[in-house]
Chains A and B, each alone.
Chain A
């Protein structure tokens, strides 16, 4: 169970859009669309932002969107705001009743 691969850090200016990638192998999530994304502010519990690859839970801003192509899932944040500065993690079912998180991406809003 290797962690899914995410960029360690990304940055953007307010108003810009950024896309965080999450790459696995075909055995990780090639056959599933069970990718979820979490936002975590320092000292806080993670918050679900996207599930099933592209669906938003109630209450999550529509500035957050998800997609998946082949072995790469992506989280796009449009219209960056200061409050979006946080760590972001992808997570996927990888078979045999096991799951794996990505290594996490630290997003800085300049």
Chain B
């Protein structure tokens, strides 16, 4: 069974940093592209960042470019999101999601999602 479990969320002051993790199991993590998608409470989905199977292709939303860094450790079956210079508008549930291929295309959509971890930005 595919499982994606996010962790690392919590309360953080504006301007500070936080690192999210996503632990993957039930599939060959190293073969698939992965994404972070966020959702502010009561708002819609926003794509944040994606990474191909071998980290060769990486993309970011304009809203986080230069502040957030996505990475993965295939040996540890883990996906990460380093978030620096956090702003009020970064407050959201952060989901990790799995593609069906290794390339960063979403050609078959995001077939599996975690349950999310909440990041609260407040002084």
Total residues of chain B contacting the partner, CB 8 A:
28
Docked-complex contact B61 and A45, CB < 8 angstroms: no
Other-chain residue from B35, B45, B58, B104 in contact with A38 (beta carbon distance below 8 A): B45
On whether A34 and B105 interact (CB within 8 A), knowing A48-B110, A104-B45, the answer reads yes
Interface assignment of B106: CB less than 8 Å from any CB of chain A? yes
Structural contact, A45 and B60, CB atoms closer than 8 A: no
Q: Mostly helix, strand, loop or mixed at chain A's interface?
A: strand
Task: Tell me, yes or no, whether B107 is within 8 Å of chain A by CB.
Answer: yes
CB distance from A58 to the nearest CB of B (A): 10
Give the shortest distance, in Å, between A11 (CB) and chain B (any CB). 18
Determine whether the beta carbon of B110 is less than 8 Å from that of A98.
no
**Do B110 and A36 touch (CB < 8 A)?**
yes
Contact flag A1-B105 (CB < 8 Å), given A36-B110, A104-B44: no
Q: How far is the CB of A10 from chain B (nearest CB, A)?
A: 15
Question: Are B45 and A45 in contact (CB-based, < 8 A)?
Answer: no
| CB within 8 Å for A99 and B50 given contacts A36-B110, A93-B105 | yes
Contact digits for B100-118, partner A, Cβ 8 Å, 1 yes 0 no: 1000111111110111100
Are A34 and B106 closer than 8 Å at their CB atoms? yes
* Cβ of B68 under 8 Å from chain A: no
Docked pose: A103 CA to B40 CA in angstroms = 12
Indicate which residue in B35, B58, B61 contacts A1 across the interface (CB closer than 8 Å): B61
The residue from A46, A51, A96, A97 contacting B45, defined by CB atoms under 8 A apart: A46
Query: Do A45 and B115 touch across chains, with their CB atoms under 8 A apart?
Result: yes
Interface status of A7 (Cβ within 8 A of chain B): no
Residues of B within 8 A of A84 (CB): none
- Which positions in A face B, CB cutoff 8 Å? 1, 3, 34, 36, 38, 40, 45-48, 50-52, 55, 57, 87, 89, 91, 93, 96-104
